[in-house]
Amino acid sequence: MAVVGLTTIYAGLKDLDGSVITGENGVDKTGIFEIDTDKSHYNLGSKTFNITNLSGTNTKISGNNEVVDISKGPAAPQVAIDSNMVNPIKLNQLLGRQKLTGGGWTEGEETQEIGLIGVSVDPITHSKIYWCFGRGTLTQATQNMQTNTDTAQTREDDNLTFTALSYDKFNKKPYAVFWEKNEGFNAKAMFDLVFPGQTLVTDSGTTTDGQSGTPSKA
């Protein structure tokens, strides 16, 4: 689908039963954390939400010296996320790291599943397009640190990789895409599919930020 820009990213920790974790144990009390551009949330927004492997490899089937069919391979999506800064506490939760005494984190023993949504808009009406992943894991493979110079500050972004898994609420497929101008679109229904049990999105389609309490459109 044709898109313009990257509007925002939503993420939430998943429990073993597939529901989103809310309250004190969640990444946010609503169950959903937005990587927004509010510095008071220790976020600086994101540059990319690049999705690959949306389609599997098709294999030609031959018979009687001709191609008679195509075997369709399953999709295996990955999302490369480049964020200027993600709240460090929230990021380490999403990565499944475990807290240490004294304010640190270490690699977790178990894989932490999360739900993920990347939002953009279409080029004509600027209506929102949501790329949704109900299950998957987030990893951070590298962390680079480089010196500043006398003329420039050297920054390192939060570069993350999300690997999608099959999801029962998407007919056991790894992703779903929603366009808000599509007939029957309902923001709450969509968020409930990706993040069952969430309280961020209301029936009216507005969101209430779990930290600031400021309403904004989903």
Do the strands 98-100 and 104-106 form a parallel or antiparallel pair, or are they unpaired? antiparallel
Run of H or E including 88: helix 88-94
Banded pLDDT at 214 (limits 50, 70, 90): very low
- Three-state SS at 156: coil
Report yes or no: 175 and 193 within 8 Å, Cβ to Cβ.
no
Banded pLDDT at 203 (limits 50, 70, 90): confident
Please give the average per-residue pLDDT across 176-204, as a whole number: 93
Residue carrying structure tokens 């998957």: 136
Residue 99: its pLDDT value, please? 93
How many Cβ atoms are within 10 Å of 22's Cβ, its own excluded? 22
Residue 213 has pLDDT above 50, yes or no: no
Q: Residue 206 pairs with which residues in a beta bridge? A: 217
Please give the average per-residue pLDDT across 34-39, as a whole number: 96
Q: What percent of the chain has pLDDT over 90?
A: 83
Tokens representing residue 83 in the block: 């964020």
Banded pLDDT at 206 (limits 50, 70, 90): low
Average pLDDT of every residue of the chain: 92
- Dihedral sign for Cα atoms in the order 122, 128, 133, 139: positive
Per-residue pLDDT tens over the stretch 77-91:
999 999 999 999 999
Report residue 88 CA to chain centroid gap.
16
Banded pLDDT at 72 (limits 50, 70, 90): confident
Q: Where are the domains of the chain?
A: 4-55+74-140+155-210
Per-residue pLDDT tens over the stretch 147-176:
999 999 999 999 999 999 999 999 999 999
Entry pTM: 0.90
Residue 158: its pLDDT value, please? 96
- Type of residue numbered 115: G
Per-residue pLDDT tens over the stretch 6-26:
999 999 999 999 999 999 999
| Main-chain phi, psi angles of 96, to 5 degrees | 80, 20
Residue 62: its pLDDT value, please? 92
Residue 74: its pLDDT value, please? 86
Residue 204 has pLDDT above 70, yes or no: no
Please give the average per-residue pLDDT across 33-42, as a whole number: 96
Report residue 56 CA to chain centroid gap.
21
* 135/202 Cα distance (integer angstroms): 22
* 20/144 Cα distance (integer angstroms): 32
Residue 205: its pLDDT value, please? 57
Of the listed ranges 130-139, 181-190, 196-205, the one predicted with least confidence: 196-205
* 138/146 Cα distance (integer angstroms): 24
81-111 b/e with 16+ CB inside 10 Å = b? bebebbbeebbbbbbbbeeeeeeebeeeeee
Q: Residue 91 pairs with which residues in a beta bridge? A: none
Residue 212: its pLDDT value, please? 37
Tokens representing residue 25 in the block: 């144990």
Can you say whether residue 9 is alpha, beta or left, with left for phi > 0 and alpha for psi between -120 and 50 degrees? beta
Residue 216 has pLDDT above 70, yes or no: no
